[in-house]
Amino acid sequence: MTSSNDLEWEGILTHHLHLMQLLRVLLTVLYWLVLEQRADNRISLQVREQRDITRQELLGQLLYGNRTREIIRMGPLAFLDLCRKLVIEGGLKPTRNASIEEQVAKFLYILGHNVRNRSICFFFRRSGESNCHHFHNVLNSLILLEATYFQQPDGSHIPVEISSDSKFFPYFKDCIGAIDGTHVRAKVSPKDAPRFRGRKEYPTQNILAACGFDLKFMYVLAGWEGTASDSKILKNALSRSNRLIIPEGKYYLVDAGFMTKSSLLTPYRRTRYHLKEYSRTNPPRNYRELFNLRHASARNVIERAFGVVKKRFPIMGSSNQPHYSVKVQKKIIVACCLLHNYLIEKDPDRQLIDQVDAEIASRTNEPEHDVRGDDNQDRIRGEQLRDNIAVAMWRDYNN
């Protein structure tokens, strides 16, 4: 007869046996999980290595291939020099996994092709989060180069493009450049869309810029809504903290959409102006037309600068809705203009400039907008300056 102690001991042994069997099952499962994890790690390592190889091959093609300008809008030497400047002057740093060259190449590819993040993910084998981080790293570093590449003139010398051309000198000897506005599509909320929908059927920013006769931007003001007039934006540019500076006794050439001032020389209104309106068989007939012809020829530089930067960086010139907010897009526009200045000096791409010149020559003329300045005395001084220049031009033209 089995005692109660024997039964209790038998129960304890049975319970321990079950625990041992369960432990054996758990150890078996754990063993296979470890084997599977090791296999996954080997696959993961192979994938990472393959992605690294792909990125290195892509960067190698950029540095040593023949499609560099097509892909990142500049040649290899200009690209490497830009990377160096962004490190030294912009404080750009490599990340744990991405080199300086990779970050800059991705940034330039986005600007030069107006692509979405997922396209960059495919080509560079990085996550969307990493690519976004790298884009903003380069953007912020590039903005720090603004003081280097946006140089406003002090008026101490005559631009060589003026002094070396008898059509312009000595008449425009006090002219330091040209000013105009251009529209860039903006991404805004439905609530803000009416304020940004100006001359286009879609929302835009109106960008004001001053340009020298060497095609380089000297001042850029982005962020104004598309309904704001060029004249209104210019008033703001002349009074803000980071203002447009016009040295005493100097002036910019502007179109008829701006107010006439002693520092802003407009063409004669209701008089032939655009270059395509003149020819050898249809020359200027009076001092006003001659002035307008030469004014248009000199002021044309700002249209050419806008055309080149938009063609080189379609993120500025595209009519498709942007992928970035207005706040970020403002910085992108400034960055594109900075890169434009850098490339005009380092890698100008003459073929691109010629294409823009041909497009401008065939462009349809826009109607004039009559704008008056607030200061009547300054307007009178500006009109007198224009008359003096025009009369001198006409006198020399006929001698």
pLDDT tens-digit map of 355-367:
999 998 887 666 5
pLDDT > 70: what percent of the chain?
Answer: 86
Between 186 and 30, where is the model more confident? 186
Q: What is the mean pLDDT of the chain?
A: 87
pTM (two decimals): 0.84
Q: How many C-beta neighbours within 10 Å does residue 323 have?
A: 15
- Residue the block writes with tokens 């006409």: 394
pLDDT of the residue at 24: 73
Q: Is the pLDDT of residue 9 over 70?
A: no
Report the amino acid identity of residue 304: R
pLDDT tens-digit map of 82-115:
999 999 999 999 998 889 999 999 999 999 999 8
pLDDT tens-digit map of 206-247:
999 999 999 999 999 999 999 999 989 999 999 999 999 999
pLDDT tens-digit map of 361-399:
887 666 555 565 567 899 999 999 999 999 999 999 998
Instruction: Tell me how far apart the alpha carbons of residues 131 and 109 are, in angstroms, rounded to a whole number.
Output: 12
Instruction: Tell me how far apart the alpha carbons of residues 130 and 124 are, in angstroms, rounded to a whole number.
Output: 11
